[in-house]
Amino acid sequence: MPLLHVERHGHIPDEEAGSIIALLEEFYGRLRPDCLDLVEIILFENDSLWRGYASSERRKAGVSSAEFDDAFIATHEAWTGIPRISISLERKQDLAPLVWEGALRHEAGHSILHGSLEYYALPMPKALQKAGENFRRLVPHLRDILYLLSLAVKDMEVARLLTSNGYIEDQVAYARFTMKASQQDIDAWALASLAPEARALCLVGRMKDIAAGIMLATGSQHPHIDLREVEESLGYLDRNLRNGLLDTMKEVSRGLGHDTLANIERAGRLLVDNIIDSVMSNPSVVNPS
């Protein structure tokens, strides 16, 4: 069981800290990861303390992808080489307890599977490089596309780890919460209609959102979520795009191995073949292969 190093920013009631640590200790005790010695747990009283901390840490680490932190309940990264989970207590207020618990275990799952720097300093998949050569407008967005794609793949791996260790109810609640289309998703999509590269970015972002849901719907013989639920969360997209996205994610999940970098490389190829090529060459049509 790893040592949990807890840091508090702002006023964190002891009982809140205590219940988070107890949940994480149960989790690490159940999974017994071999090579995880230390996990940093950073607790924030509110989102603005969290945001200030996160952007200064991003600067220090030289992280170049855009900030997408608003979309997360809690986050995990390993920019310093040590897995670090950041949690803002303000986010807990609006969430059902199961979603909150599911999110904490989800981030702890990342610390086991993706707790070192190599999972955060990723090489650009060949297919995405090639897409950048074919569609120059995509080039300024490739880092963000890779970032979101890598989150999708890593979230599938975490969903598989957690469900295979018996965390079902909370992971279903968490997956349902993250896959739901927000008003922001719908607005962003409407705004993106004029720029194919913005559409590509929106779609990869949605891949991340449905990653856990797809895994719970297709990852085992006994689905924990109905695939139609995942489909409904993409209901604002036209049918071709929705099917293209679902088929791509099902294929990523079907071939998901245990080498994260290889999984990302493969997902990059599927993303380009099934979605990016079509969106970039004909913004209004997608023809999934």
- Where does this chain bind Zn ion (CB under 5 A)? 155
> For residue 70, which phi and psi values (nearest 5 degrees)?
-60, -25
Q: Which is nearer to Zn ion, 256 or 286 (CB)?
A: 256
Q: Residue 111: which of 170, 57, 179, 41 has the closest Cα?
A: 41
Cα–Cα distance list, 31 to 84, 85, 170 (Å): 18, 17, 16
Select the residue whose beta carbon is closest to Zn ion and give its number. 155
- Which residues share a beta bridge with 40? 5, 84
**Residues 103/174, Cβ–Cβ less than 8 Å:** yes
Q: In what order do the strands lie in the sheet with 84-88?
A: 3-9, 38-44, 84-88, 74-77
Which residues does 97 contact at the CB level (< 8 Å), separation at least 6? none
d(CA 45, CA 29) in angstroms, rounded, equals 27
Q: Which is nearer to Zn ion, 155 or 170 (CB)?
A: 155
**Smallest distance from the beta carbon of 11 to Zn ion, in angstroms?**
27
Torsion sign (Cα): 151, 209, 258, 75: positive
**Smallest distance from the beta carbon of 205 to Zn ion, in angstroms?**
13
**Smallest distance from the beta carbon of 258 to Zn ion, in angstroms?**
17
Q: Which is nearer to Zn ion, 77 or 155 (CB)?
A: 155
**Smallest distance from the beta carbon of 154 to Zn ion, in angstroms?**
6
Q: Which is nearer to Zn ion, 185 or 209 (CB)?
A: 209
Q: Which is nearer to Zn ion, 157 or 277 (CB)?
A: 157
**Smallest distance from the beta carbon of 162 to Zn ion, in angstroms?**
11
